[in-house]
Amino acid sequence: MKTDLLIVLSDVEGLFDSPPGSDDAKLIDIFYPGDQQSVTFGTKSRVGMGGMESKVKAALWALQGGTSVVIANGTHPKVSGHVITDIVEGKKVGTFFSEVKPAGPTVEQQGEMARSGGRTLATLEPEQRAEIIHHLADLLTDQRDEILSANKKDLEEAEGRLAAPLLKRLSLSTSKLNSLAIGLRQIAASSQDSVGRVLRRTRIAKNLELEQVTVPIGVLLVIFESRPDCLPQVGALAIASGNGLLLKGGKEAAHSNRILHLLTQEALSIHGVKEAVQLVNTREEVEDLCRLDKMIDLIIPRGSSQLVRDIQKAAKGIPVMGHSEGICHMYVDAEASVDKASRLVRDSKCEYPAACNALETLLIHRDLLRTPLFDQIIDMLRVEQVKIHAGPKFASYLTFSPSEVKSLRTEYGDLELCIEVVDSVQEAIGHIHKYGSSHTDVIVTENEKTAEFFLQHVDSACVFWNASTRFSDGYRFGLGAEVGISTSRIHARGPVGLEGLLTTKWLLRGEDHVVSDFSEHGTLKYLHESLPVPQRNTN
Amino acid sequence: MKTDLLIVLSDVEGLFDSPPGSDDAKLIDIFYPGDQQSVTFGTKSRVGMGGMESKVKAALWALQGGTSVVIANGTHPKVSGHVITDIVEGKKVGTFFSEVKPAGPTVEQQGEMARSGGRTLATLEPEQRAEIIHHLADLLTDQRDEILSANKKDLEEAEGRLAAPLLKRLSLSTSKLNSLAIGLRQIAASSQDSVGRVLRRTRIAKNLELEQVTVPIGVLLVIFESRPDCLPQVGALAIASGNGLLLKGGKEAAHSNRILHLLTQEALSIHGVKEAVQLVNTREEVEDLCRLDKMIDLIIPRGSSQLVRDIQKAAKGIPVMGHSEGICHMYVDAEASVDKASRLVRDSKCEYPAACNALETLLIHRDLLRTPLFDQIIDMLRVEQVKIHAGPKFASYLTFSPSEVKSLRTEYGDLELCIEVVDSVQEAIGHIHKYGSSHTDVIVTENEKTAEFFLQHVDSACVFWNASTRFSDGYRFGLGAEVGISTSRIHARGPVGLEGLLTTKWLLRGEDHVVSDFSEHGTLKYLHESLPVPQRNTN
């Protein structure tokens, strides 16, 4: 044919390993001529599968002649209207015929291994999971030389291609590995009480007892950029919570990730659950992974806001835990203390401006303009070299104002701060609801009534009174290992500890209880009696 | 022009009420010539907005000549490649120009009213929310005649167009209204302890105390079919949990829904929060509502599995709470008691086969074939007129077998049951994981060790031992008002009570605490001391 690519459009998604519609039928992403015996063609159907068998024959013939082949569905105009452009762009559509069989499992196989490995992990004793994590911590220090030499390869390949701050995030060192190991041991400690904790016990009837217990969510997909130290950390969190894990790291850290993943599996294998943590091949596109809603229960992106936003967009029906923006506010009330306000603003804005819990917008009560308090804050900001952007109202009050903000909805992530004026605590709350990202918002005041009004009415994950925005953090909250900060309103909100990686199941133990005995004319009545629950060790 | 429709494709989404990119810019769905003064055209931009102004002029001119106009984005080939077919099909794309201005607010305006009404509702005292629900319960019985006459209109219009079971679900009666009122009073009772409950208290440092409290999720969208009694029930659940609510009912119940919604708003107005519950116009498409991810925090479909599946598919980035399937299993172990097994199978399958928690697949240990236990179950099923479908292994063991199942993954929802044979509890668990829907699965055995193995290893929302699948229900679990049953793995799992409509926020009260004081060389240390939490009244 002398063409590069043959696209065969059919009325099914592609080639399945058994007749489509049967219970076990799975779409084959990539078909290798040698795999032919693993496919069962339906023989009874005159139109359907017979047609597919001849398409496959044609495809194999074309493949022999050096033409690549894709069989895909061409009959869903709404869904796959761009099936041809998608195929040409190399997206995972239909079945691709290839001469060369790559080594290693497919991502679907990895998802299944993570699921079944995770299920076994969840049934281990808490001490065994902690042991795995301790062993991984040991390996990180024992195998330091190998890790650092793999990391060196990544750094060499990245040299000149990555900016300095990215290279810094990519690079590992003995001290980084040591503190990573310390962090892992903390995760091991906090894991003792995670899976299998009883949250609620109810006597439904005599000898019929209900229990709600914590269990792992299932399979997590964690997508992270550059920082290879993410891998053992996230691995330990998944192990501690009994979850299966698919890890997708950046290409730039491939060598480092490979060795760190091998060590994680080595640690897992002491209790026979090596496969619970899988490193996804760097060739897999994030977008394709985000479509595996049957395999993945929760996606956790670890990286820039842009990464989080992209993943939230790409995730089809899979929940994403994280936050894309941290537009934190501090409202300085008319009754604020001068010294406290300045101290709190400095810590919130200047201590580490790149953090998501750093201050971005300062709301000042109008009565404070041209008071010593105001001057003190502005002087402090000048000393700290913070660039000020004026909100429209603030600008209108000043004779000479700093440049006006482009948007009141900006996360600077740097030594820049938007200042706006409000007339009341109500107006401050309105501003926060309109322009905020429901992350962390603070009131500075000496008036307890105003403070409580603010705490009750601001609809954000974290609402503080006379405390720095920077406290919004799992470690500082005392949650132990931090999974991240979530601005989503369901499941977990705010700083998330190991608990965010758990769900619950209901266990009911009876004798031979049936609901018909509890009907209007039945012999039994629901007791619904609360039973004591073992107290949790929260320290 | 003598055309019916003019489509103007631009490089922006349509007409905005202020220059796109500015903080407050909103896309106008439908533009009426009289509204022209409400739009601010950018004047500075030479290409962008000037261009839009002239497009609008052209659109208005065409509209006067009797041609409908849509201005939409034609430059996103991936997203809106079908922009023209979408427009022709009447989908909500870009800005539609219309002569006639419909009465009532747009769905976006309703979303905002629900958000702000809900926020006020959440700050009421629990007693006030309970009072609203009690008042609604009173109205349901006091205004019975009006409700029933509206319902009669719906029934008359549906006559001959709806099947008998649907008509039955559509119809209201005095007794239905009375039991609805009783249900509402129960919701009022269980609402006392929902919003503002303290879940966790931690002393982070001296005079720095952290509190995690329950708060409403925000704005819920509940989509329901035929049954108008859903409206006050769901309304009461939202009120009890302090959430704003958008209700989308079926066209067939329009008259009933309208009066029930008016009564709900009448009840809400006793505390000035009338707008917290909004009834969405029947013309709005479910698909369009599912796209409003900035307005809606959680979607709850109430209806058929098909409805749930459609909504799960359509919801773009908004979580959906519910379950589309209930493929519940009962595994009868080799060490099961004969009488218990038969009793449990009958209750699970026959008591109410249309329920999602009814039994669909019976797994029998191979050793039980041709034993009295097996015969007793089969005889019972015959008496109850249950149609049996044989799994492939079961069929292979029988000389004369019932028809083989088409799929082991079937929810019959009727007096039909699949029977399959397994060799061990492990195989039963494998079968459940492969073909189940993680809803409710049961083991029948006298061996406690086997039972606990099953309880621990089956990865479903509800796992029971010697109890009917039918106990899987919020009321039977003692959760009070039931929101639904969720098979999702995050947020809420299994039967969901009012708690499923709540999230949490973190309140931190300090003096002037900054994180830099807690740094390595700082003056303060984290205490992370657990403080006692007021005990919950769970009865």
- Looking at chain A, which residue has its C-alpha nearest residue B454? A507
**A420: helix, coil or strand?**
strand
- Looking at chain A, which residue has its C-alpha nearest residue B215? A459
Task: Judge contact between B439 and B326, C-beta under 8 A.
Answer: yes
Range B348-371 average pLDDT = 95
**CB neighbour list of residue B240: distance below 8 Å, 6 or more residues apart:** B129, B130, B133, B187, B188, B190, B191, B194, B481, B498
Residue B451 or residue A91, greater confidence: B451
Q: How far apart are CA A156 and CA A202, in angstroms?
A: 60
pLDDT of residue B53: 78
Task: Judge contact between A363 and A428, C-beta under 8 A.
Answer: yes
Tell me the CATH number for domain A107-192+214-314.
Answer: 3.40.605.10
Contact between chains at B464 and A507 (C-beta distance less than 8 A): yes
Within chain A, what is the greatest distance between any pair of CA atoms? 89
Interface subset of B 504-523, CB within 8 angstroms of A? 504-516, 518
pLDDT of residue B43: 53
pLDDT over 90 for what percent of chain A? Answer: 61
pLDDT of residue B1: 67
- Looking at chain B, which residue has its C-alpha nearest residue A467? B513
**B243: helix, coil or strand?**
coil
**Beta pairing, strands B219-224 & B208-216:** unpaired
Contact between chains at B490 and A503 (C-beta distance less than 8 A): yes
Q: Which of B505, B533, B507, B509 is nearest to B206 (CA)?
A: B509
Domain residue ranges of chain A, discontinuous segments joined by +: 5-97, 107-192+214-314, 328-471
Q: How far apart are CA B527 and CA B206, in angstroms?
A: 8
Interface subset of B 226-265, CB within 8 angstroms of A? none
What type of residue is A304?
Answer: S
Our CA-based measurement puts residue A366 at a distance from the nearest CA of chain B, in whole angstroms, of 22
pLDDT of B418-450, one tens digit each? 999 999 999 999 999 999 999 999 999 999 999
Q: Residue A296: is its pLDDT beyond 70?
A: yes
* E strands in A163-228: 198-205, 208-216, 219-224
* E strands in B217-272: 219-224, 244-248
Residue A453 or residue B533, greater confidence: A453
Band the pLDDT of A76: cuts 50, 70, 90: low
**A13: helix, coil or strand?**
coil
pLDDT over 70 for what percent of chain A? Answer: 95
Residue A334 or residue B15, greater confidence: A334
Q: Which of A379, A381, A401, A380 is nearest to A391 (CA)?
A: A401
- Looking at chain B, which residue has its C-alpha nearest residue A216? B489
Q: Residue A206: is its pLDDT beyond 90?
A: yes
Q: What are phi and psi of A489, to 5 degrees?
A: -95, -10
Q: Is A451 on the interface with B (CB under 8 A)?
A: yes
Alpha carbon distance, N-terminus to C-terminus of chain A: 71
CATH of B107-314, one of 3.40.605.10, 3.30.1360.200, 3.40.640.10, 3.40.50.12780: 3.40.605.10
Interface subset of B 369-388, CB within 8 angstroms of A? none
Q: How far apart are CA A79 and CA B286, in angstroms?
A: 18
Q: Residue A498: is its pLDDT beyond 80?
A: yes
Band the pLDDT of A46: cuts 50, 70, 90: very low
**Beta pairing, strands A494-496 & A416-422:** unpaired
B491, burial (CB in 10 Å: exposed 0-12, middle 13-18, buried 19+) = buried
Q: Residue A195: is its pLDDT beyond 80?
A: yes
DSSP string across B408-419: SS----SSEEEE
Residue B293, number of CB atoms within 10 A of its CB: 13
Within 8 A of A477 by CB-CB distance, chain B residues are 202, 204, 210, 506
Range B485-504 average pLDDT = 91
Q: How far apart are CA A86 and CA B239, in angstroms?
A: 47
- Looking at chain B, which residue has its C-alpha nearest residue A195? B456
Band the pLDDT of B484: cuts 50, 70, 90: confident
Contact between chains at B510 and A466 (C-beta distance less than 8 A): yes
**CB neighbour list of residue B59: distance below 8 Å, 6 or more residues apart:** B6, B8, B31, B69, B71, B97
Q: How far apart are CA B311 and CA B15, in angstroms?
A: 28
Residue A381, number of CB atoms within 10 A of its CB: 21
**CB neighbour list of residue B153: distance below 8 Å, 6 or more residues apart:** B255
Contact between chains at B347 and A298 (C-beta distance less than 8 A): no
Q: Is B185 on the interface with A (CB under 8 A)?
A: no
Q: Is B81 on the interface with A (CB under 8 A)?
A: yes
Within 8 A of A476 by CB-CB distance, chain B residues are 204, 515, 518, 526
Contact between chains at A119 and B457 (C-beta distance less than 8 A): yes
Q: How far apart are CA A124 and CA A274, in angstroms?
A: 13
B282, burial (CB in 10 Å: exposed 0-12, middle 13-18, buried 19+) = middle
Q: Which of B159, B187, B184 is nearest to B171 (CA)?
A: B159
Q: How far apart are CA B108 and CA B38, in angstroms?
A: 17
Band the pLDDT of A467: cuts 50, 70, 90: very high
* Mean confidence (pLDDT) of chain A: 89
**CB neighbour list of residue A376: distance below 8 Å, 6 or more residues apart:** A338, A339, A341, A342
Q: Which of A48, A49, A67 is nearest to A58 (CA)?
A: A67
pLDDT of residue B44: 46
Range A498-516 average pLDDT = 95
Sign, CA dihedral A91-A94-A98-A104, equals: positive
**Domain A5-97 has what CATH class?**
alpha beta
Length of chain A counted residue by residue? 539
The architecture of the domain spanning B328-471 is 3-Layer(aba) Sandwich (3.40)
Q: Residue B537: is its pLDDT beyond 60?
A: no
Within 8 A of B457 by CB-CB distance, chain A residues are 119, 123
Q: Token digits for B473? A: 């229900």
Q: What are phi and psi of A10, to 5 degrees?
A: -120, -170
Contact between chains at B506 and A529 (C-beta distance less than 8 A): no
* Least confident span in B142-146, B168-172, B310-314: B310-314
Q: Which of B267, B257, B361 is nearest to B302 (CA)?
A: B257
Q: Which of B58, B73, B55, B62 is nearest to B3 (CA)?
A: B62
Contact between chains at B463 and A493 (C-beta distance less than 8 A): no
Which of A207, A444, A509 should be substituted to probe chain B, the one whose Cβ sees the most B Cβ atoms within 10 Å? A509
Q: Which of A289, A210, A260, A274 is nearest to A508 (CA)?
A: A210
Q: How far apart are CA B304 and CA B295, in angstroms?
A: 25
pLDDT of B247-306, one tens digit each? 999 999 999 999 999 999 999 999 999 999 999 987 778 888 888 888 999 999 988 888
Q: Which residue has the tokens 């407050």?
A: B24
Question: Which H or E run contains A190?
Answer: helix A174-190
Interface subset of A 165-184, CB within 8 angstroms of B? none
